[in-house]
Amino acid sequence: MKFDYDLFVIGGGSGGVRASRISSSLGAKVAMAEEFRVGGTCVIRGCVPKKLLVYASHFSEDFEDAAAYGWTVPKATHSWKTLIANKDKEIDRLNNIYHSILDNNNVELFRGRATVVDRNTVKVGDKEYTAKYILIATGGTPVMPELPGIEHAISSNEAFHLDEMPKRVIVVGGGYIAVEFAGIFNGLGAEVTQLYRGTQILRGFDSDVQHFLAAEIQKKGIDLHTHANAASIEKTNSCLKVTLDDGDVLETDAILFATGRRPNTKGLGLEAIGVELKENGAVKVTPQSQSTVDNIYAVGDVTDRIALTPVAIHEGMAFAETVFGDRPGAADHENVPSAVFSQPQVGTVGLSEADAREKYGKVDIYKSDFRPMKQTLTGGTERAFVKLIVDAKSDIVVGVHIVGADAAEIIQSVGIALKCKATKAQFDATIGVHPSLAEEIVTLREKFVAA
């Protein structure tokens, strides 16, 4: 049977764009539908603008630290409008680059919302197109809990476009997005209260990292409440009144819910044609990203495996090479390094201590909690933390966790070592870079023994 396209990709985010580009370079005739802006969550309303805001917010601390190094910095003021305008300009530039990538790779782009009509037909607007393969790469959307007054709250999507920088902000949630935005608003001078419903933020991370980061962000001024949640929101003439589940009432100018994300499959028509979804709406896929309909695949956040851009890109590549190339293979989800752009940053790869104990039984723990060199002159109280988890039997390092300046940059290279199954002896044989935070990774010698 002759189709209009070899591949129709629904969703122009990181996974979809990479899959379409590689498939096209492997000879496939490719089309894509995108209802909003090409670039997806990461480029348009996620990783990229977030990191620009993190840079902006860190200056306040840098100005303070500068005095100890001999600088006289006049009282600094900040323009939120300038920051947002410059950020928007950069996002437009990246959006254009993504369009060029599609153009240069002969990927035909349809602007509009696509639905799946049958296993080989996609509808965009009132037009139908046929394709041998369909790739679902529709990403995810913030989930807002249902509570009275939730219409007065924002998600991360709106946080990037606020007209004014709020003086007081409540952030609800304890995951990546909550922690990052709490740090951004705090650095930019807002009074920040963070509400987390559980025992400690960053659930699932190594528990030392959870506690260490919680202490650090509190030192920087974030008022963190654990076992706390918002129950209702009321808008008055001058502020938002947020009633907590214990009855306390807080006044604020903005309340941001970073309470998780949901895969975008609603109304796509997938279930009707036999594509099975998980309970949360994610597309069920094999390690090769194939859905329960064999010519329909899915990559990225819509599959709810690991919701990270580089993982979506990797899944998109693996899909293209499996279906259109001669290198069939599964996406690899082991030892994926990641970072939380909190202040200070968290970098992590491999297992937490709890998960390592469960998997390997006996593990050796090495950790160090220290004052970074920069603080020696400033008198600042920020500390750094490095932890190594080693499988006692094989001596292989199975987890590395860092909290401190540039942890994201450091953990990338450590990820290579874990991918190579490096042993603690090989870490020890590596000469440190002095003076640096990263040298702790290769100089830790004493096993940590719990008191």
Q: Which residues here bind ligand NDP, judged by CB under 6 A?
A: 145, 172-178, 180, 196-198, 203, 229, 258-261, 307-308, 338-341
Pick the closer one to ligand NDP by CB: 172 or 365: 172
Q: What is the DSSP string of 96-156?
A: HHHHHHHHHTT-EEEES-EEEEETTEEEETTEEEEEEEEEE---EEE-----TTGGG-B-H
Pick the closer one to ligand NDP by CB: 121 or 210: 210
The whole-angstrom separation of Cα 136 and Cα 303 is 9
> Cβ of residue 342: shortest distance to ligand NDP, in angstroms?
9
> Cβ of residue 13: shortest distance to ligand NDP, in angstroms?
13
CB burial of residue 126 (10 Å; 0-12, 13-18, 19+):
exposed
Pick the closer one to ligand NDP by CB: 277 or 308: 308
CA 229 to chain centre: 22
> Cβ of residue 176: shortest distance to ligand NDP, in angstroms?
4
Q: For 97-107, b where at least 16 C-beta lie within 10 A, e where not — what string?
A: ebbebbeeeeb
β-pairing, 397-403 vs 346-350, is antiparallel
Dihedral sign of CA atoms 165, 57, 383, 445 in order? positive
CB atoms within 10 A of CB 420: 11
The whole-angstrom separation of Cα 213 and Cα 220 is 11
> Cβ of residue 329: shortest distance to ligand NDP, in angstroms?
23
Pick the closer one to ligand NDP by CB: 258 or 418: 258
> Cβ of residue 443: shortest distance to ligand NDP, in angstroms?
27
> Cβ of residue 107: shortest distance to ligand NDP, in angstroms?
26
Residues 6+ away with beta carbon under 8 Å from 390: 363, 364, 365, 366, 396, 397, 398, 423, 424
List phi, psi (to 5°) of 156: -60, -30
Pick the closer one to ligand NDP by CB: 175 or 316: 175
Pick the closer one to ligand NDP by CB: 273 or 340: 340
Dihedral sign of CA atoms 423, 424, 430, 436 in order? positive
- Is residue 434 part of the annotated active site? The answer reads yes
Residues 6+ away with beta carbon under 8 Å from 448: 365, 366, 367
Residue nearest to ligand NDP (CB): 175
Selected catalytic residue, list 152, 161, 227, 434 = 434
> Cβ of residue 263: shortest distance to ligand NDP, in angstroms?
11
Pick the closer one to ligand NDP by CB: 110 or 341: 341
CB burial of residue 29 (10 Å; 0-12, 13-18, 19+):
middle
Dihedral sign of CA atoms 115, 260, 157, 43 in order? negative
Nearest Cα neighbor of 345 from 389, 293, 401, 296 is: 401
The whole-angstrom separation of Cα 404 and Cα 410 is 10
* Catalytic residue list: 434
